[in-house]
């Protein structure tokens, strides 16, 4: 069987431990090509660069792996990779491993997951991986297992149509990691807050901050699975139409 | 009845004709507060500013309307507006009117629609408006009608749970405008391409370009409605879980 072409990107940037872990874990599975942002792009969601130009540069950061950095967002990396660099669709697109969880509604803000969603829009089997630990030196041992277990499944089964996978790994010792569990995204939210400060001229500026708040106690959620020592696997779709709401809207008599 | 508090933002920036049209059209309906980006933020999707600070400045650009500019993205504007400026949730959040259509999968890239999605996540009735004309001097006469017709409905009916509305107006003379139609997003895609150029030093750079391609001939789609002279109204959800794919994934035996 021909080795699959595996495209890797992330949103923490090329120098993060998470993407290094992903590249090293995935290498035995196929031919790996990496295009990742040249700087952190966390929180960029599905942003694309349309009012500025993009640059791409070859990098030798990973041994024996064709690697490029890009000045743009994670979704820019996906588009550049497919349409300019590879000139074909890879067999698999992997994004991450993100430093920090992308559970519940965080998916919308996540550059890691938006890269995977972009892959799904291109019809490529795509998976985003995140570890629930923001530390730049986080322990990715359990994450490596989760990546391997996911790849073993994805290489044997066709991805459901119009869907990518969102895999979140708990912050847990590898020996306590219980495996993967298919989940729905919890209905949880960021309670935002702004930290207002003054610059050296007395002018105000703001840092976005806040706390993640979960009142969804469902045992079928990603947050519940993480709390139990499992990695959560949530199928994520890019068709945002709320079909269930169409009848109600039609009753408004537009 | 108390006048509703109506929050307005956009992604083309405070100086665009689209937001000026929206503000003028909406003024009679309630107390309007505007927070919009101080520069164009098209294509920013659901991006938020987490690695940099935000600034907000008072503006007198609109007569008798409390207005602020923000250095961040459309979603930043929503968060700043709710959590720092108003310290309460507005009764209605309107985003736009965007210069250019946000139909089909364009929703994911759209700052205009991401602001509305963010509003929905906060439980605020939220609507994004877009005109299928990129021209900075576009004719917004039909769009004004579409905004008025939408407001008349939204002020009389509760928004379905977990949903915002995506309203796209065709590029059409006001006299030919046929009204609003509830639709689903067409399954259409951007066929991306990069325009590769060389700078003055001979180094390559890239402009993202491409064409919108629609092979979805459904008569219930937003693109079909626009072609018929209607404005499309698509309910958009923020829960991206692909519930229909969970059973299939479970059969993989994780």
Q: What is the percent of chain B with per-residue pLDDT over 70, rounded to a whole number?
A: 100
Residue A208 with chain B: CB contacts under 8 Å: 48-50, 54, 76, 79
DSSP one-letter string for chain A? -PPPEEEEE-SS-TTSHHHHHHHHHHGGGSEEEEEEESS--TT-TT----SS-B-EEEE--STTSEEEEESS-HHHHHHHIIIIIISS--SEEEEEEEES---GGGGGT-HHHHHHHHHHHTT--EEEEEES---TT---HHHHHHHHHHHHHHTTSPPPTTEEEEEEE-S--GGG---EEE-BPP-EEEEEEEEEEE-TTS-EEEEEEEEEEE----TTBHHHHHHTTPEEEEEEES--B-GGGHHHHHTT--
User: Which pLDDT value is given to residue A238?
Assistant: 96
Best residue in A73, A169, A228, A240 for a mutation probing chain B (most B CBs within 10 Å) = A240
pLDDT greater than 70 at residue B217: yes
Instruction: Quote the pLDDT of residue B244.
Output: 94
- The answer to whether A44 contacts B47, with C-beta atoms less than 8 Å apart, is yes
Closest CA to B143 of B117, B179, B184, B93: B179
Q: What percent of chain A is predicted at pLDDT more than 70? A: 100
Q: What is the pLDDT of residue B2?
A: 81
Contacts of A75 in chain B (CB under 8 A): 45, 109
Identify the closest residue of chain A to B253 by CA–CA distance.
A153
| Statement: residue A218 has pLDDT above 70 | yes
Residue-level pLDDT at A144: 98
Alpha-carbon distance of A239 to A207, in angstroms, equals 32
DSSP H/E element including B250: helix B246-250
Average pLDDT over chain A, rounded to an integer: 96
Give the per-residue pLDDT at A2.
81
pLDDT-derived band at A49, boundaries 50, 70, 90: very high
Of the candidates A47, A55, A204, the beta carbon closest to that of B47 is on A47
Q: How confident is the model at residue B231 (pLDDT cuts 50, 70, 90)?
A: very high
Residue B195 belongs to what H/E stretch? Answer: strand B188-198
Min Cα–Cα distance to chain B from A108, Å: 6
Q: Is the pLDDT of residue A1 over 70?
A: no
Pair B147, B201: CB distance under 8 Å: no
Tens digit of pLDDT for each residue in B8-64? 999 999 999 999 999 999 999 999 999 999 999 999 999 999 999 999 999 999 999
Q: What was the pLDDT predicted at B254?
A: 86
pLDDT at A15: 97
CA distance to partner chain B, nearest, from residue A47 (Å): 4
Instruction: Reply yes or no on whether the pLDDT at A183 is more than 70.
Output: yes
Judging contacts by C-beta atoms under 8 Å, the chain A residues touching residue B160 are 242, 244-245, 248-249
Chain B CA closest to residue A111: B47
Q: How much is the pLDDT for B192?
A: 92
In angstroms, the separation between the Cα of residue B237 and the nearest Cα of chain A is: 5
- Say which of B44, B165, B241 has its CB closest to residue A184: B241
Share of chain A above pLDDT 90, in %: 95
Distance to chain A for B31, nearest Cα, Å? 24
Chain A residues whose CB is inside 8 A of the B210 CB are 83
Cβ–Cβ below 8 Å for A194 and B84: yes
pLDDT, residue A87, reads 86
Q: Does the pLDDT at position A229 exceed 90?
A: yes
- Helix or strand run (H / E) with residue B116: helix B111-121
Q: Do A83 and B194 touch (CB under 8 A)?
A: yes
In the prediction, which pLDDT does A23 show? Answer: 98
Q: What is the pLDDT of residues B181-197, one digit of tens each?
A: 999 999 999 889 999 99
pLDDT of residue A142: 98
pLDDT at B118: 97
Contacting residues for B14 by C-beta, under 8 A, at least 6 apart: B34, B36, B37, B38, B59, B61, B67, B69
Output the pTM of the full model: 0.96
Interface test with A, best of B77, B213, B239, B244 (most A CBs within 10 A): B239
User: Nearest by CB to B245, which of A156, A160, A240?
Assistant: A160
Query: Which residue out of A12, A47, A89 would a mutagenesis test of the B interface target, given it has the greatest number of B Cβ atoms within 10 Å?
Result: A47
- pLDDT 10s digits, B113-166: 999 999 999 999 999 999 999 999 999 999 999 999 999 999 999 999 999 999
Q: How far apart are CA A5 and CA A3, in angstroms?
A: 7
Closest Cα in chain A to B107: A240
Nearest CA in chain B to A55: B205
Among the partner residues B203, B205, B254, nearest to A153 by beta-carbon distance:
B254
pLDDT of res. B105:
94
CB B16 within 8 A of CB B136: yes
ipTM of the complex model: 0.95
Complete domains list, chain A, with CATH: 5-186+218-250 (3.40.1210.10)
| pLDDT surpassing 70 at residue B1 | no
Residues in chain B with CB shorter than 8 Å from the CB of A187 are 239
């Amino acid at each position: 069987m021909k080795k699959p072409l595996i495209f890797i990107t992330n949103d923490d940037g090329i120098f993060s431990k998470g993407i290094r872990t992903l590249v090293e874990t995935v290498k035995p599975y196929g031919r790996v090509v990496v295009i990742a942002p040249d700087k952190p792009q966390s929180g960029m969601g599905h942003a694309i660069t349309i009012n500025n130009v993009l640059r791409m540069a070859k990098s030798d950061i990973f041994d024996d792996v064709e690697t490029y950095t890009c000045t743009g967002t994670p979704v820019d990396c996906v588009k550049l990779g497919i349409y300019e660099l590879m000139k074909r669709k890879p067999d698999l697109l992997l994004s991450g491993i993100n430093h920090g969880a992308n559970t519940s509604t965080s998916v919308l803000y996540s550059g890691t997951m938006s890269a995977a969603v972009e892959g799904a829009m291109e019809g490529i089997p795509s998976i985003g991986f995140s570890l629930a630990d923001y530390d730049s030196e986080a322990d990715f041992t359990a994450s490596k297992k989760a990546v391997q277990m996911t790849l073993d499944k994805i290489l044997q089964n066709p991805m459901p149509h119009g869907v990518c996978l969102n895999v979140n790994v708990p912050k847990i010792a590898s020996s306590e990691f219980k495996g993967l569990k298919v989940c729905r995204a919890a209905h949880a939210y960021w309670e935002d807050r702004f930290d207002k400060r003054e610059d050296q001229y007395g002018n105000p500026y703001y840092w976005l901050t806040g706390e993640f708040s979960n009142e969804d106690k469902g045992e079928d959620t990603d947050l519940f699975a993480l709390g139990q020592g499992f990695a959560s696997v949530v199928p994520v779709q890019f068709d945002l139409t709320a079909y269930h709401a169409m009848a109600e809207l039609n009753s408004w008599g537009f």
